[in-house]
Amino acid sequence: MVKIIVTRALPEVALERLGALGDVWVSTYPRPLTVQELHEAAAGASALVTMPSDRVDAALLSAIGPKLKIVANFAVGYDNIDLDACRAAGVAASNTPDTLVETTADLAFALMLATPRRIVEGDRLIRAGRPWSWSWDFMLGRDTWGSTLGLVGLGAIAKAVVKRAKGFSMDVIYWKPERAAAALEKELGVRYVTFDELLERSDIVSLHCPLTPSTKHLIDAKALAKMRPTAFLINTARGAIVDEAALVRALDKGVIAGAGLDVFEREPVVHPGLKQRANVVLVPHLGSATVETRERMALRAVANVEAALGGQPVPDDLT
C-alpha cells in the first residue's frame, strides 16, 4: 500500500483525494511535528505533504527511504526545503504557486490601513474600558490614501497590491535586484528607484521579496535609519527579511512610525519588544488564511502528489 504522510490537517476535500491514492496518515498534533516525530512518521512514505514549519533536508530524506517520490509543500514559499538534497535523492519537491496572490494582497493592504490609522490600538482602548471622547487630536493617525507606497519586490502579490493602491490614489515606487520591463512598469503605473531611494521616499514600505541569503535582514538598522520617521513598515513576505531586534530599537527611538507584521523571524516566537508597542500590528501568519484560498492550496498540493505517484510530470516541481 502506498503510504502518504500529511504533517498537519488539510481540508477534507483534499484528504479524500489523497485517500484514493493510498494509506494516508495525518498528524493530530495541534503543533508542528518535532524533527524526531517527523522522521519516525514519514519512514517508508511514498509522498510527504509538508507545512512551511517542516524542515526537509538530507537527514529527513534518508530517514524516509527510497520509496519517496515527492515532497509537496503546502505553501508558495519553499525556504524550508533543501532542493539540492531533493535533487540528489531523486525526489520531486513542489509548492502551490498562484493560489494565494489576491488573498495575501488583501492582508497586506489591510495592514497598510490598520497600522497608520491605529485601528487595532483603538479597538484595544474600547475593549479595555478606557475613557475617551471625540476631539480633533484624538488618536490621530496617517493617511494611506494619497501616500507613497514603496514595494520591495514586484512579484505576483506585489502586482496585486499595486491594483489596490491605485484605488487609493497612492504613488507606487518599487525596487528589486533586476528592474522590470518598461512595458510592465507602464502597465502597472509604477516607477523604479534604488533601494535607498525607496526607503527615503516611501510613506509605507511593503515587503514582497523571497527569503534568500541576500534578503535575510535586508531591513536592518541601516535600512530602517533611511526611512522617514513618519513611515510604516509592512511585512507579509518572510519574517527573517527583517532584523526584529533592529526593528524594536528603531521603534523605541522613533526612527519609524510603526509596523504591520504578518510574519516573524522565529515563528511562532515574536520578539517581546514588538508585543509591547501599541504602534505595531501583529498578525499570526494569516496571509493566505481564508477558506477559499487554503482549499485551493490543498488541492494544488494534492494534484502534485497525484502526478508524482501516477508517474506523470509534477506540475509545480521545483527541482
Please write the tens of the pLDDT for every residue from 99-150: 999 999 999 999 999 999 999 999 999 999 999 999 999 999 999 999 999 9
Q: Residue 1 has what pLDDT?
A: 80
Q: Which of 102, 197, 267, 295 is catalytic?
A: 267
Locate 49 and state its grid cell.
505533504
Q: Which of 164, 238, 271, 294 is catalytic?
A: 238
Q: Which of 22, 71, 68 is nearest to 46 (CA)?
A: 68
Share of the chain above pLDDT 70, in %: 100
Asked whether 215 and 209 are in contact (CB, 8 A), the reply is: yes
- Mean pLDDT (the chain) is 97
With bands split at pLDDT 50, 70 and 90, how would you rate the model's confidence at 151? very high
Active site residue 285: yes
Active site residue 238: yes
Please write the tens of the pLDDT for every residue from 62-105: 999 999 999 999 999 999 999 999 999 999 999 999 999 999 99
pTM, rounded to two decimals: 0.93
Amino acid identity of residue 95, one-letter, is N
Give the strands of the sheet with 70-73, arranged side by side. 23-26, 3-6, 47-50, 70-73, 92-94
With bands split at pLDDT 50, 70 and 90, how would you rate the model's confidence at 174? very high
What lies within 8 Å, CB to CB, of 143 at 6+ separation is 116
Dist CA 61 CA 88 (whole Å): 10
Q: Residue 83 has what pLDDT?
A: 97
Q: Which of 240, 251, 309, 304 is nearest to 276 (CA)?
A: 251
What is the dotted CATH code of the domain comprising 101-282? 3.40.50.720
Q: Residue 78 has what pLDDT?
A: 93
CATH 3.40.50.720 fits 3-97+291-309, yes or no: yes
Whether the domain at 3-97+291-309 and the domain at 101-282 fall into the same CATH topology: yes
Longest dimension (CA), the chain: 70
Judge residue 249's burial from the number of C-beta atoms within 10 Å of its C-beta, 0-12 exposed, 13-18 middle, 19 or more buried. middle
Q: Which of 142, 201, 217, 285 is catalytic?
A: 285
Per domain, the residue ranges of the chain are 3-97+291-309, 101-282
Q: Which of 269, 200, 211, 271 is nearest to 236 (CA)?
A: 211
DSSP-H helix ranges across the chain:
12-19, 35-42, 58-64, 83-89, 101-114, 119-127, 156-167, 182-188, 195-201, 221-226, 244-252, 272-275, 291-309
Q: Give, for 281, the enclosing helix (H) or strand (E).
A: strand 280-282
Neighbours of 280 (CB within 10 A): 23
Please write the tens of the pLDDT for every residue from 247-301: 999 999 999 999 999 999 999 999 999 999 999 999 999 999 999 999 999 999 9
Dist CA 203 CA 237 (whole Å): 19
Asked whether 161 and 136 are in contact (CB, 8 A), the reply is: no
Active site residue 267: yes
